[in-house]
A = this chain, B = another copy of it.
Amino acid sequence: MIKPTESELEILGILWSKGPSTVRVVNDELSLKRRVGYTTTLKLMQIMTEKGLLRRKKDSRNHIYFPVAKEDDTKNAMIQRFIDTIFDGSATRLVMQALGNHETTPEELEKIKELIREKEGGEK
């Protein structure tokens, strides 16, 4: 699976949350966070299409872009890479460190416990 660059990831994030979108929409969204020219966003999305990260369909004058890979698959691949480079391949170490140093509400802890029960039990 192709590794998106930092900027590409921003764009994927927007497409995941907003669904298939035009360059205009993505650029507007990006512009909320930082200054970025329209053609910059356009070029990036064209490159992502070449790389196979995005596909697009024509809609009159515009192109509507959408990610090729599923959000979950992409995120899992990224977690895997992250774990491999930083945590020596151990997902547990990542989880421990993430849990150990971030605020979590009781509800969130409950959800995690539930997930663990499922993994332990086979069925919940």
Contact = CB atoms under 8 A, between A and B. Distances in A.
A10 B106 CA distance: 36
A99 B113 CA distance: 11
B75 A86 contact: yes
Interface of A, secondary structure class, is helix
Given A91-B98, A98-B79, A98-B94, A109 B104 contact: no
A112 interface: yes
A9 B119 contact: no
Interface of A: 6, 9-10, 13, 72, 75-76, 78-80, 82-83, 85-87, 91-92, 94-104, 106, 108-109, 111-113, 115-116, 119-120
